[in-house]
């Protein structure tokens, strides 16, 4: 087997890259280690920036998002039950779209199926070879049979735990990391959302987030210790804890029900530098992780693959290496800005036992400053809806 671009990972990064390359006439094959249903079963992001909305449109997969997605013109922040609305529309004339990662993935998978593009699911023992040499290739087994995919370029879109970044020699890559001592316990429920806007709540008991997937399906999160076992959380315990962390009127209005998904996600900030190693390029969660508080992970992945697709199209269609040469430096600039915003949102909204009462007063002062400063609100708004 031979292709121009071997894409490792069929999550949102890999699927979008495949789509953009295919539109431009660049040949690509996706190799994914799980099944399509498994990929669709991972409940993750919910908020799309304008740049992501535009990219889905440009990729010709935005129709259902515009029909079913919810336009959000702001978010609510809460501090010990006190509410502050950040109105993006009034502050900077922009908005975001609530449309789940699962749906984005489904739409991209459907497009791939329509065009008959090659995706190899349930590939085992995926390994990448000679990306620093003349014959880059990917080996894997499928149904017990070994295969080799020869290629010009390998796109590492295989997430944080993938094989691509792990295959780079240690001395060729620098990593920057902060692991938070807590995670998010998330619950998906077939009930209307508790409020029109998302609510990001700081409380002495810990952070809580009220989010949604549609007008009939809601997504909620509470901060829990990093090593928390989801088995310790009955639905009832989750709802009690959520109610205790949000303001009383919202708690009163909360519609609960049996969870249809419940999981704990660890929180981490991580960046690898550089993102190119010969003919291997990293994008999305393979390259960086943000704590989810700023709703940036999926959006950052989409802006990476937009840049990577443009660079590869330039190389394969126009014969210029300028784009691939500048890919790493270009995307890292945007990545670090999103890392900063996600770190800041995380620092403002979570409880950090180690920072004591001084830390809580600083968080309170930050919240009060936001409440009284249009400039501070504009800064939050322009970062949340996505920097250019
Ligand atoms: P992934 O989605 O991790 O996909 C990588 C794919 O590679 C997977 O399908 C995996 O099976 C496959 N793979 C791994 N190893 C191999 C291998 N060896 N061989 C072949 N395939 C392999 N982001 C936002 O923008 N907004 C949000 O509101 C938001 N909320 C979040 C909430 C939670 C609870 C979590 C956990 C994340 C959230 N994110 C959010 C982040 C977002 O989900 C990720 O940034 C996004 O999934 C990254 O996409 P990706 O394709 O790069 O990686
Ligand atoms: C969701 C996740 C986030 O990380 C976030 O900041 C907002 C919403 C969600 O899953 O709905």
**Does residue 88 sit within a domain?**
no
CB distance 211 to ligand 2 below 6 Å: yes
Give the start-end residues of each E strand in 203-275. Answer: 208-212, 218-225, 259-273
Q: In a 10 Å sphere around its CB, with 0-12 CB exposed, 13-18 middle and 19+ buried, how is residue 372 labelled? A: exposed
| pLDDT at residue 83 is higher than 90 | yes
The predicted model gives 97-121 an average pLDDT of 96
Quote the ipTM score.
0.95
Question: Is residue 278 domain-shared with residue 261, that is, in the same domain?
Answer: no
8 Å CB contact between 316 and 26: yes
Average pLDDT, the chain: 97
The predicted model gives 261-287 an average pLDDT of 97
Question: Is residue 188 domain-shared with residue 131, that is, in the same domain?
Answer: no
**Does residue 303 sit within a domain?**
yes
Output the pLDDT for position 43.
86
Question: Is residue 155 domain-shared with residue 184, that is, in the same domain?
Answer: no
CB distance 293 to ligand 2 below 6 Å: yes
Q: Binning pLDDT at 50, 70 and 90, where does residue 253 land?
A: very high
Segments in 81-193 forming alpha helices (H): 88-92, 101-115
| Residues 6+ positions from 375 with CB-CB distance below 8 Å | none
Question: Is residue 37 domain-shared with residue 111, that is, in the same domain?
Answer: yes
Query: Does the reported pTM lie above 0.90?
Result: yes
Distance in Å, CA 211 to ligand 1 centroid: 19
Question: Is residue 16 domain-shared with residue 35, that is, in the same domain?
Answer: yes
Question: Is residue 164 domain-shared with residue 190, that is, in the same domain?
Answer: no
Output the pLDDT for position 320.
97
Output the pLDDT for position 288.
98
* Polymer length of the chain: 388
Query: In terms of DSSP bridges, do strands 119-120 and 28-31 run parallel, antiparallel, or are they unpaired?
Result: parallel
Question: Is residue 223 domain-shared with residue 164, that is, in the same domain?
Answer: no
Structural domain count, the chain: 2
| Residues 6+ positions from 282 with CB-CB distance below 8 Å | 156, 164, 165, 272, 275, 276
Output the pLDDT for position 91.
98
**Does residue 39 sit within a domain?**
yes
| pLDDT at residue 93 is higher than 90 | yes
How far, in whole angstroms, is CA 198 from its chain's centroid? 17
Give the C-alpha separation, 262 to 292, whole Å: 16
By mean pLDDT, which of 77-81, 84-88, 208-212, 313-317 is the weakest?
A: 77-81
192 as an active site residue: the answer is no
> Which residue among 12, 99, 136, 200 is the active-site one?
200
Domain of residue 209 covers: 180-266+351-385
Among the bound ligands, name the one nearest to the CA of residue 265.
1
| Residues 6+ positions from 242 with CB-CB distance below 8 Å | 208, 210, 220, 222, 251, 254
Output the pLDDT for position 354.
87
DSSP for 183-234, please give it. EEEEEEESS--SSSSEEEEE-TT--EEEEESSSS-EEEEEEEETT--GGG--
CB distance 267 to ligand 1 below 6 Å: no
| pLDDT at residue 353 is higher than 90 | no
Distance in Å, CA 355 to ligand 1 centroid: 31
8 Å CB contact between 202 and 78: yes
Question: Is residue 204 domain-shared with residue 336, that is, in the same domain?
Answer: no
Helix (H) or strand (E) holding 249: helix 248-253
327 as an active site residue: the answer is no
8 Å CB contact between 142 and 124: yes
Give the residue, by CA position, lying nearest to ligand 2 atom 4.
292
| pLDDT at residue 220 is higher than 90 | yes
The predicted model gives 204-214 an average pLDDT of 96
Question: Is residue 147 domain-shared with residue 218, that is, in the same domain?
Answer: no
| pLDDT at residue 375 is higher than 90 | yes
| pLDDT at residue 299 is higher than 90 | yes
Residue appearing with tokens 């991209």 = 108
Give the C-alpha separation, 285 to 278, whole Å: 20
Q: How far is CA 132 from CA 95, 160, 281, 300, in A?
A: 42, 21, 11, 26
Output the pLDDT for position 119.
97
**Does residue 206 sit within a domain?**
yes
Give the C-alpha separation, 312 to 59, whole Å: 16
- Which tokens hold the place of 218? 């809601």
Distance in Å, CA 92 to ligand 1 centroid: 29
| pLDDT at residue 81 is higher than 90 | no
**Does residue 90 sit within a domain?**
no
Question: Is residue 255 domain-shared with residue 281, that is, in the same domain?
Answer: no
Give the C-alpha separation, 157 to 128, whole Å: 13
Output the pLDDT for position 114.
95
CATH of the domain at 206: 3.30.9.10
CB distance 13 to ligand 2 below 6 Å: no
CATH of the domain at 309: 3.50.50.60
* CA quadruple 302, 308, 309, 312: dihedral, nearest 10: -170
**Residue-wise pLDDT tens digits, 123-162:** 999 999 999 999 999 999 999 999 999 999 999 999 999 9
Question: Is residue 118 domain-shared with residue 65, that is, in the same domain?
Answer: yes
**Does residue 324 sit within a domain?**
yes
**Does residue 79 sit within a domain?**
no
Give the C-alpha separation, 175 to 274, whole Å: 9
Question: Is residue 189 domain-shared with residue 314, that is, in the same domain?
Answer: no
Output the pLDDT for position 35.
97
**Does residue 277 sit within a domain?**
yes
Distance in Å, CA 60 to ligand 2 centroid: 25
Closest CA to 201 of 214, 190, 210, 213: 210
Provide φ and ψ at 167, rounded to 5°. -90, -10
Output the pLDDT for position 388.
86
| pLDDT at residue 181 is higher than 90 | yes
Closest CA to 75 of 298, 388, 349: 349
């Amino acid at each position: 087997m031979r292709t121009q671009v071997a894409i490792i990972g069929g999550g949102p990064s890999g699927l979008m890259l495949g789509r953009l390359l295919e539109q431009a006439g660049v040949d690509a094959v996706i190799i994914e280690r799980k099944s399509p249903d498994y990929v669709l079963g991972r409940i993750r992001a919910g908020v799309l920036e304008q740049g992501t909305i535009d990219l889905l449109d440009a990729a010709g997969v935005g129709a259902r998002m515009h029909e079913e997605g919810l336009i959000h013109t702001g978010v609510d922040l809460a501090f010990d039950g006190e509410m502050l609305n950040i109105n993006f529309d009034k502050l900077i004339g922009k908005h975001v779209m609530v449309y789940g990662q699962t749906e984005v993935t489904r739409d991209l998978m459907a497009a791939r199926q329509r065009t008959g593009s090659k995706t190899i699911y349930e590939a085992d023992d995926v390994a990448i070879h000679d990306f620093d040499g003349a014959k880059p290739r990917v080996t894997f087994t499928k149904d017990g049979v070994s295969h080799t995919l020869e290629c010009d370029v390998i796109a590492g879109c295989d997430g944080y735990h993938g094989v691509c970044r792990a295959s780079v020699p240690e001395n060729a890559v620098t990593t920057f990391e902060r692991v938070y001592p807590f995670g998010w316990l998330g619950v998906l429920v077939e009930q209307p959302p508790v409020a029109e806007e998302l609510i990001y709540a700081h409380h002495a008991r810990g952070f809580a987030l009220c989010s949604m997937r549609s007008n009939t399906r809601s997504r909620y999160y509470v901060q829990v210790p990093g090593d928390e076992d989801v088995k310790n959380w009955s639905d009832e315990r989750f709802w009690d804890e959520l109610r205790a962390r949000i303001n009383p009127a919202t708690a009163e209005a909360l519609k609960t029900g049996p969870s249809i998904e419940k999981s704990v996600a660890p929180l981490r900030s991580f960046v690898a530098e550089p993102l190119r190693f010969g003919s291997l390029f990293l994008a999305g969660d393979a390259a960086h992780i943000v704590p989810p508080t700023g709703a940036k992970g999926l959006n950052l992945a989409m802006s990476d693959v937009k840049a990577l697709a443009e660079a590869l199209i330039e190389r394969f269609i126009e014969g210029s290496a300028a784009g691939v040469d500048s890919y790493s430096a270009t995307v890292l600039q945007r990545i670090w800005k999103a890392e900063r915003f996600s770190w800041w949102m995380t620092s403002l909204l979570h409880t950090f036992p180690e920072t004591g009462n001084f830390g809580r007063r600083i968080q309170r002062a930050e919240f009060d400053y936001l409440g009284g400063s249009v400039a501070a609100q504009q800064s939050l708004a322009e970062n949340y809806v996505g920097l250019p």
